[in-house]
Amino acid sequence: MLLLLAAGTGCPRFEPGAQRLLVDALGVESSSADGEGFLVAYRPVCTSSGGDLESTAVLLVEAPAGVEILDGQAHCGALLDGVATPARDTVRVRQGDATPLDPASLGWVTVTVRPGDLLPPRRLIRREYQYTYAVSLGNTGSSAQSVGAMAMSTSSELRVVVGLVTATLLPADGTLVNSGLLSVRRDRTVPFDPDAIVWSITAGVSDDLAVGLTRSLDGVGHPLGGVQVEEDGPEGRNVRITESESGLASLAQRAGSFSWRFAKEGHLPVWRRRTLEAGEVAVVHSPWLPQRDPDAAPITVLNGGVAGDPDEWTTVAFAPGSVAQNAEAVLTELNGQSLPAVLPVGWSPLNAFWLELSSEPATPGTGSLRLMDVLLAGETGAFVQWDPEGFVWRVLETHSGDGQQVLEVSVPGSGAFAFVVPDVFPAAPPAAQVGQPLAGSGADFPPNEELVGEGEVDPATVAASRDPEAVLARATVSISHPDPIPSGLLLRAEIDEHYRMHDGSEQSTPRYQSFLVGYQRPDDLDPRTLEARFPLRPRLLFDSSELAEALLQVEIVPVSAFAGALLGPQGGVVSSPDLTVGVPPGALTGDEPVEVRPLDPARFAGEVGAGEAVAAFEIGISGLRDGARLEILFGRRERNADFVLAKHVSGFGRSGLEPRERFSSDTTGFLTSLEPASGPRLPGVTGAGQYVLVRVDGPRGLVTGTA
């Protein structure tokens, strides 16, 4: 697949209520009765809104009840802004009588191409040049549509190079600007004839299409790939696997209520639940899968036993005779981010743990819980257990406060447990009732842009070590607002790690995202403040003889809506400034969200050696078939230069920049891949990750073999 795109085209963006092309009148060309009604041919009258258009076409997709669309496509050709122009073609329908249809009752999918090249014309051979234009898709109907439009040429003087434009989800009543590209080759001495471009448009109603997007994390917030996702939804159960390195996964693909169970060997499971609306691409709160504690405690028939470390937060003791046969118990401490499911709004966890027993006890164990904050006088907390079948936190006990920080509770057996306290008025939830699900507050969260935050890390510095526990710190983000904020506020963190070695070299890990939950406790009793506490640990471990300094930087950013494109098996393109990513037809297994984000190339300056990092970006994608490669197209760069596109990797014995594709630029600065179609070659871009375009001092060869 060959694609060309200039810098600055921008991402596809949907403009609700905006239409580049309107069909605001119909002319009746013919009408005749048949045995089933009247066959009527209409000539659409097209009007451009907001500027001239070079090439246009429409497809009738909605009509009143009782009207059958027989042939709904028409070409409007080139349009001047605001000038009503009859289409070159007619559309045909069968209707109950000969009364002309009201244009306002019809819905259309529109294809529009603006005049003016996105790129300066690119010379190919002699007088033949390549011209590239941006294409937008519109939908004037009331239902979302799945759209594909293919451009073809009727002239031997004009050849379409790129002409497939798709939108797996084109929402109702609006225009998807920069949906794709039209790239043509022609003799520049021959005037361009817009009427030589004809479009074949297909569309289908996608009222129930919706997608969830998430990233699985481990218990310290690092990306965790290869997680199994059991999905239960309107169409039954489905099983997915998160992407092996990034942990990304797309979910659902249909509107409705869904629940997901995330699980991986050696980790404890996490559940999420969400209702997806039709036409929505929803970002689902990332699951933190805590690593299972490796130590098992014996619980014997004669002596009982104790699970947990007395020096930590929780122990559970079983009396002699509690178990009918000798058993083992594993107790794993949890934090507010690694709970198996989110708490109802308005509750804060002061202690949480998983207990796993190889044999369930005949009598409950006695749990000793050290709380992260005192249980205040007049305050009532609740000991709750996660119920995955009912998808609720069920109240086992309530405790009234008198300033105590250690509690005894009855632990019935295996499961995930937490001791939680309610927010203070006015965001207080309903009181906990034993035997009932924990109920949430009806308080609203304030807008993200009105929040104020600050952070700290304890300890702020630690000595370098290859022991993960020795370099583990606790980070706290404090959030405030003039009005009360209920517990359960979701925050998004972006984390950078940079390493400076004693030998003068530098390393970094790919920037990763994490979701954090903020709670009112433990903190002061001001309802206008929350804290999000979470573990912080570098992904790369070195001892002091190797590492001079490691810097971990956490940036809290608004939880924003998905800003990419939804593509299907037919493929398509996603753009950001100065970059386009092409997904070839057949590369995706289904409808998948694809997102491209630009990165600052300066952050990779210490890892490119004698080269120069000139561009960087991150691709978020899952559902790629094995062997599929993405096409990467850059804006103009230095002329007659050589480049290597590298992937930023970390883990599995690799760290740094891994070459993925070689490029060279021509006399106009356009980049062309140097990888051959067959034989030895670099693998190219085969999945999600962060990539860096490096300017090098000459062409690079390829050496194969085993080192």
pLDDT 10s digits, 485-500: 999 999 999 999 989 9
Amino acid 7: pLDDT = 26
Lateral strand order in the sheet of 654-665? 565-567, 592-599, 612-620, 689-696, 642-651, 654-665, 671-673
User: Residue 474 sits in a domain of what CATH number?
Assistant: 2.60.40
Output the six-digit token pair for 119: 């790129």
- CATH code assigned at 366: 2.60.220.50
Among residues 255, 289, 323, the one where a domain terminates is: 289
How much is the mean pLDDT over the chain?
Answer: 88
Domain of 255, CATH number, reads 2.60.40.1120
Specify the range with the lowest mean pLDDT, choosing from 190-204, 242-256, 335-349. Answer: 190-204
Domain-terminating residue out of 535, 557, 579:
557
**pLDDT digits 0-9 by tens, 181-211:** 788 888 777 777 877 888 878 777 565 777 8
Domain-terminating residue out of 205, 222, 239: 205
Residue 200 and residue 73 share a domain? yes
How many structural domains is the chain composed of? 5
Whether 112 is in a domain gets the answer yes
Considering the domain architecture, whether residues 196 and 217 belong to the same structural domain is answered as: no
Identify whether residues 274 and 376 lie together within a single domain.
Answer: no
Residues 569 and 654 in one domain: yes
- Give domain status of residue 436, yes or no: no
CB-based contacts of 145: which residues, under 8 Å, 6+ apart?
Answer: 61, 109, 139, 167, 170, 172, 203, 204, 205, 206
Note whether residue 2 is domain-resident.
Answer: no
Q: What is the mean pLDDT of residues 676-689?
A: 90
CATH assignment of the domain containing 662: 2.60.220
Q: Give the burial string for 309-346 (b: 16+ CB within 10 Å, else e).
A: eeeebbbbbbeeebbeeebebbbbbbbbbbbbbbbbbb
* 159 and 240 housed in the same domain: no
Structure-model confidence comparison of residues 481 and 510, the more confident one: 481
Same domain, 365 and 244: no
pLDDT at 601 over 80: yes
| One domain for residues 49 and 190 | yes
Q: Evaluate whether 577 touches 617 at the Cβ level (below 8 Å).
A: no
Ranking 204-213, 237-246, 380-389, 626-635 by mean pLDDT, the lowest is 204-213
Full residue range of the structural domain in which residue 543 is found: 448-557
Higher pLDDT pick, 408 / 523? 408
Residue 433 within a domain: no
User: Closest Cα partner for 573 from 139, 64, 24, 164?
Assistant: 164
Look at 438 and 7; give whichever has higher pLDDT. 438
- Determine, yes or no, domain membership for 427: no
pLDDT at 666: 84
Residue 105 lies in a domain: yes
Whether 254 and 133 share a structural domain: no
Tell me how far apart the alpha carbons of residues 542 and 154 are, in angstroms, rounded to a whole number. 64
Q: Do 384 and 479 reside in the same domain of the chain?
A: no
Task: DSSP letter for 688, please.
Answer: S
131 pLDDT tier (thresholds 50, 70, 90) = confident
580 and 536, same structural domain? Answer: no
CA distance linking residue 347 with residue 519, whole number of Å: 7
Mean pLDDT for 22-51 is: 92
- Average pLDDT (556-585) is 76
**Together in a domain, 601 and 544:** no
Judge whether 702 lies within some domain: no
What was the pLDDT predicted at 209? 72
Identify whether residues 114 and 230 lie together within a single domain: no
Distance from chain centroid for Cα 572? 17
18 lies in some domain: yes
Query: Given this model, what pLDDT does residue 9 score?
Result: 37
* pLDDT range class, residue 405, cuts 50, 70, 90: very high
